[in-house]
């Protein structure tokens, strides 16, 4: 993967964990065309080749915002044709995050509004700083969520609550997000990345093929009935049986030691 993105910082603070930081601090990490193209290309690269990465973290630069949504300064005066072309890139970026075979944790370090909230929702789960706030503000601007918000938000918090959030465009707190099932954990002040990286490292310590297959099966649980979902689960399960990691995991358990998984 090429780490040289104009609007992203790529780092590996612990082994096998890659942190992708949206780095438009002066704009509260708002989604301009370049950043969405960078996110698309970054996450699509992991679809092709995971390399040594076993878990990803998506976060924003600074402490004020994860992502404030679309860059409305860039969009001011944008023609309808240009708007549609830009949004096509956003659609590709969201799909690339959701299709990424590697688990993705959103570390929401501040405001996650509109498209920023949708970026967090596209990740596998969310940890948030105590001061983080969320909102789907699109209808107050004459549009509606267009980055899977009307699909991912109801799946996370239920359709009735999602309708309230989207149709009022009102912000809500991290505490609300936990109570509604949107957020997995609120981190204490200054501890967000410590907690996220601890969880990411725990995921990365598990068998990579098994983790990827389990993620795929759980994603399918949202689209298939239970019987067909179980059929998919068994297909995913069977792909782990022939791996070296399966042999190593059982051997390590019996030898009372930590397994050394190779991802094959």
Q: Read off the pLDDT of residues 204-262 as tens digits, 9 standing for 90 and up.
A: 999 999 999 999 999 999 899 899 999 989 999 899 999 989 988 989 999 998 998 99
Q: Which pLDDT belongs to residue 3?
A: 65
Q: Measured between alpha carbons, how far is 96 from 41 in angstroms, rounded to an integer?
A: 8
CA–CA separation, 236 and 242 (whole Å): 12
Domains of the chain: 8-204 (3.90.226.10), 208-254 (1.10.12)
- Active-site residue among 80, 138, 244, 255? 138
The answer to whether 156 and 121 have CB atoms below 8 angstroms apart is yes
Q: Are strands 65-67 and 111-113 parallel, antiparallel or unpaired?
A: parallel
Pairing of strands 55-60, 104-108: parallel
pLDDT at 177: 98
Tens place of pLDDT per residue across the chain (264 aa): 456 899 999 999 999 999 999 999 999 999 999 999 999 999 999 999 999 999 999 999 999 999 999 999 989 998 999 999 999 999 999 999 999 999 999 999 999 999 999 999 999 999 999 999 999 999 999 999 999 999 999 999 999 999 999 999 999 999 999 999 999 999 988 999 999 999 999 999 999 999 999 999 999 998 998 999 999 899 998 999 999 899 889 899 999 989 989 988
What confidence score (pLDDT) does residue 242 get? 92
Amino acid 179: pLDDT: 98
The answer to whether residue 118 is catalytic is yes
Catalytic choice (12, 63, 118, 248): 118
Determine whether 81 is an active site residue: no
Radius of gyration of the chain (CA): 19
Give the integer Cα–Cα distance in Å for 46 and 262.
17
């Amino acid at each position: 993967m090429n780490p040289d993105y104009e609007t992203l910082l790529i780092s590996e603070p612990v082994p096998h964990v890659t942190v992708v930081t949206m780095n438009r601090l002066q704009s509260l990490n708002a989604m301009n065309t370049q950043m969405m193209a960078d996110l698309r290309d970054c996450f699509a690269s992991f679809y092709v080749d995971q390399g040594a990465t076993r878990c990803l973290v998506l976060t924003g630069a600074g402490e004020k915002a994860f992502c404030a949504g679309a860059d409305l300064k860039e969009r001011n005066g944008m023609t309808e044709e240009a708007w549609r072309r830009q949004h096509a890139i956003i659609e590709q970026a969201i799909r690339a995050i959701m299709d990424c075979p590697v688990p993705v944790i959103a570390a929401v370090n501040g405001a996650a509004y509109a498209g920023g909230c949708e970026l967090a929702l596209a990740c596998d789960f969310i940890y948030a700083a105590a001061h983080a706030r969320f909102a789907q503000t699109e209808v107050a601007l004459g549009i509606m969520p267009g980055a899977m918000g009307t699909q991912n938000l109801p799946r996370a918090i239920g359709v009735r609550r999602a309708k309230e959030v989207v149709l009022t465009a009102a912000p809500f707190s991290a505490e609300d997000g936990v109570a509604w099932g949107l957020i997995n954990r609120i981190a204490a002040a200054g501890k967000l990345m410590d907690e996220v990286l601890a969880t990411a490292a725990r995921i990365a310590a598990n068998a990579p093929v098994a983790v990827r297959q389990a993620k795929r099966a759980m994603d399918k649980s949202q689209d298939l009935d239970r019987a067909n979902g179980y059929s998919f689960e068994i297909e995913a399960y069977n792909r782990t049986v022939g791996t070296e990691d399966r042999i190593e995991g059982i051997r390590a358990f019996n030898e009372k030691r930590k397994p050394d998984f190779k991802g094959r």
